[in-house]
Amino acid sequence: MVTREPEYFPPAENFVAQLGRHVIFFCRAVGQGGLLFLQAVLAMRFALTKRARQEIIVQMFVSGIKSLGVITVVALFTGMILALQTGIELSKFNQEVNIGTAVMVSMLREMGPFMTGLILAACVGSAMAAQLGTMVVSEEIAALEIMSIDPVRFLVMPRLVAMSIMTPLLAFYTCIIGVIGGGIVGASQLGVSWVSYIDNATRFAGAKDLYVGLFKALLFGVVITILSCHEGFATTQGAVGVGYATRKAVLVSFLHVLILGYFVTRLFYV
């Protein structure tokens, strides 16, 4: 059951009690998030029904196509900054031709999935939390539950499937645009021809870089969806609560993208 009864807590008597309460709330949130993920995964058996397919396509459009503009700009300038920074240093040793490798490997391994994750957390995750939060406040979630329509199957599962598909695709797109951005800087400011830039970029980047990057992106997509939906469902206190849930969803998603990014890198490259 997603709908929760209102909770009231007396003020904590001292710092230790306050801390203990935060620890309990944290553990509860982790448990609820894990349960939501399991329920959404189990609901994927309904992903091929007509309505679910339609909803998944809508969510893919919302999370993917609508984010394309901002992702293009961010990816282009990320690639340009990477090329410029590394190019300036490498040019001191007449090695500026190697910016291709630096940009390609950085984008594939880290910057592509990372930037995609942050953008989706800010644009899509916040929208998910706000929409579900508003639905909680306006009793639409309760209405679904009374009609015996599972809100996780109806709302979370299509978003999870859509984000699981679109985040790796967007991360790959981010990498391509970033590499193009790096090439523009190389050709226009560092005197590196497009041919040698692309040759250098493709020579040292391996398939593993691509797979790990895409895996990271997939992980980010799942985590952003579950965290955002969880925060949305946990909304209380009306309009103020929706704002609070949205802010928290973005904040927690950012932190998870950052922390998970480190551990996945460590897992595959150390």
Partner 1 sequence: MIRFEKVTKVLGGKPVLDGIDFEINRGETFCIVGASGAGKSVTLKHMVRLMTPDDGRILVAGDDVGSATGADLARVRNRFGYLFQSAALLAWLSVAENVALPLREKHDVDEDEILDRVHKTLAMVGLENDGAKVPSEISGGMRKRAGLARAIIESPEIILYDEPTSGLDPVTSRTIDRLIGKLREDLGVTSVVVTHDLHSALAIGTRIAMLNRGRIAEIATPEAFMESSSEEVQRFLAAQYITKEAPWERDQQ
- What is the contact surface with partner 1 in residues (CB under 8 A)? 1, 3, 5-6, 8, 10, 51, 135, 138-140, 142-143, 145-149, 154
Letter string b/e over residues 112-150, b meaning 16 or more CB atoms within 10 A of that residue's CB: bbbbbbbbbbbbbbbbbbbbbbbbbbeeebeebeeeeeb
CB of 131 to partner 1, least distance (A): 9
By beta-carbon proximity to partner 1, the closer residue of 1 and 270 is 1
DSSP state of 13: S
By beta-carbon proximity to partner 1, the closer residue of 58 and 267 is 58
CB of 241 to partner 1, least distance (A): 16
CA–CA separation, 16 vs 154, rounded Å?
Answer: 41
CB of 8 to partner 1, least distance (A): 3
CB of 79 to partner 1, least distance (A): 36
CB of 247 to partner 1, least distance (A): 22
CA–CA separation, 168 vs 176, rounded Å?
Answer: 12
CB of 114 to partner 1, least distance (A): 32
Q: What are phi and psi of 5, to 5 degrees?
A: -75, 150
Letter string b/e over residues 2-40, b meaning 16 or more CB atoms within 10 A of that residue's CB: beeeeeeeeeeeeeeeeeeeeeeeeeebeebbeebbebb
User: Whose CA is closest to 171, among 264, 250, 89?
Assistant: 264
By beta-carbon proximity to partner 1, the closer residue of 6 and 69 is 6
By beta-carbon proximity to partner 1, the closer residue of 192 and 234 is 234
Cα distances (Å, whole numbers) of residue 100 to 25, 87, 158, 187:
47, 9, 38, 11
By beta-carbon proximity to partner 1, the closer residue of 10 and 69 is 10
By beta-carbon proximity to partner 1, the closer residue of 111 and 136 is 136
CA–CA separation, 71 vs 206, rounded Å?
Answer: 24
